[in-house]
Amino acid sequence: MISVAIIDDHKILTEGLANLIDESGIATVIGVAHSAADCRLSLGFWRPDVLLLDVGLPDVSGVDFCREVKAQFPEINVLALTTHNEYAIVRQMLDNGASGYLVKNAMADEVLAGIAAVAAGRTFLCHEIDLLMKKPSSKNIWLSPRERELLRLISEGLTNGEIAEQIFLSPETIKGYRKNLLLKLGAKNTAVLVKMALEQKLI
Amino acid sequence: MISVAIIDDHKILTEGLANLIDESGIATVIGVAHSAADCRLSLGFWRPDVLLLDVGLPDVSGVDFCREVKAQFPEINVLALTTHNEYAIVRQMLDNGASGYLVKNAMADEVLAGIAAVAAGRTFLCHEIDLLMKKPSSKNIWLSPRERELLRLISEGLTNGEIAEQIFLSPETIKGYRKNLLLKLGAKNTAVLVKMALEQKLI
DNA sequence: CGTACTTACCCCCCAAAGGGGGTTTTTAAT
DNA sequence: ATTAAAAACCCCCTTTGGGGGGTAAGTACG
């Protein structure tokens, strides 16, 4: 029997989900947490085979928490469970150690299939995400770490000069990055750039 | 017995939620839809006392759908059920006819209390939202329709001149609105303005 | 009747962004 | 060893944005 822990702040969802898993016969829920802090306290005792992890936690980013969990318990298979269907989020989760990714509007059988797959050491993407990751789309934009950093600073309202000061580069360099970001995202100006960055969860 | 219909695209959540409601003894679920389109087809047959409405539907904005439902079936009490805890969203839902508002991480008993309250014709806000709406905070920003329109056009990357052309106003007027928006939201520049607009769901 | 808010308009001035053209070094992959 | 990408840098020029000051009509509400 596969042991599963769930971490999600939506209490209504966790109850239903725990029921679903327990009644499936393939897995059993050994713990539920509603925040990353709760989870840190218990995860060492639970030692689940699979951790169902919501990306939209109240206290920390799911990406960071996934990395944290994998660093401390590499044997736990993390299965992301979230509302986000953006390329950048999926990719960041997978890059940070997640074994699978489910969107919350997936069917119940996909949840069980995902749990079984990641418990067996395989990777699993639900149908919708599988399509998203395979289909080469102009919306599937991937930025370098430096570009993401610049985008973050731009969205915080820093001017080229201020950014240059903060990260010890020439203002002309910042200008170059900015031009490149506009080109890469196909944005007309800063307003659109920030909008796309937030909508596509690039920062 | 109160009759309830649920509209939410998160299938895992609706199953658990329907169970919870049916077992409470105070209400019974007479229908579930996973999109606004599905709901339109069935709502006339169901005629529920309470409609549990997710604001993050895949096909239309929950605000628009709420207005639509109330226009067609004024006797149905709409209870918003969503992840969003932003002032602007709550206010827009209430302005468009919702009788109550629940966040998805609310406890199960709040869901039942909310259903009972709105079925009885009262309004209901879950604890977290009640606090949010009462506490006068600098984050509780409310814009006039015109300001929201301007904010939308700015976030789409239009320049003052382009906006002026589109809505038949002087570019200087647009500039005035822009300055006022920066002041109202406390934003340093357009980048921050767009970021705040999206984060606080003002557009 | 007054007050507050929305909508609409105008001036000057300079800082910042955006379009165009480039170069070099380092790093990673094939 | 070659290629490709990321990271860093530079100059010229025009458009746009943002800070500072305003004015004034319309309307909603007590």
Strands A50-54 and A2-7: parallel
CATH homologous superfamily for the domain B2-134: Response regulator (3.40.50.2300)
Strand C, nucleotides < 7 Å from a protein CB: these are 5-11, 15-22
Distances (CA, A) of A69 to A46, A74, A77, A132, B193: 13, 7, 9, 26, 35
Sheet containing strand B124-125, strands side by side = B27-33, B2-7, B50-54, B77-82, B98-103, B124-125
pLDDT tens digits, residue range B121-180? 999 999 999 999 887 776 788 899 999 999 999 999 999 999 999 999 999 999 999 999
Boundaries of CATH 1.10.10.10 in chain B?
145-199
At the second CATH level, the architecture of B145-199 is: Orthogonal Bundle (1.10)
Do the Cβ atoms of A199 and B198 come within 8 Å?
yes
**Residues 136-165, chain A: which have Cβ under 7 A from strand C?**
159-161
**What burial class does residue A169 get, using C-beta atoms within 10 Å of its C-beta: 0-12 exposed, 13-18 middle, 19+ buried?**
middle
CA–CA gap between residue A128 and residue B11 (Å, rounded): 14
Starting at the earlier edge strand, list the strands of the sheet with A77-82: A27-33, A2-7, A50-54, A77-82, A100-103, A124-125
CB-CB under 8 Å, B12 with A13: yes
CATH 3.40.50.2300 segments of chain B: 2-134
Count the Cβ atoms, other than its own, within 10 Å of residue B137.
11
With contacts defined as CB-CB under 8 Å, which chain B residues touch A83?
Answer: 10, 56, 83
Transcribe A78-106 into DSSP letters: EEEEES---HHHHHHHHHTT-SEEEETTS
Protein CA at B180 to nucleotide C1' at C26, angstroms: 46
Query: Chain B interface residues facing chain A, Cβ-Cβ under 8 Å?
Result: 9-13, 15-17, 19-20, 34, 56, 58, 83, 104-108, 111, 154-157, 159, 187-195, 198-199
In Å, what is the CA distance from A36 to each residue of A15, A66, A186, B55?
Answer: 18, 10, 36, 26
Reported as a single tens digit per residue, the pLDDT across A147-198 is 999 999 999 999 999 999 999 999 999 999 999 999 999 999 999 999 999 9
Report pLDDT digits (tens) over A78-127.
999 999 999 999 999 998 999 999 999 888 889 999 999 999 999 999 99
Distance CA A160, CA A175 (A): 6
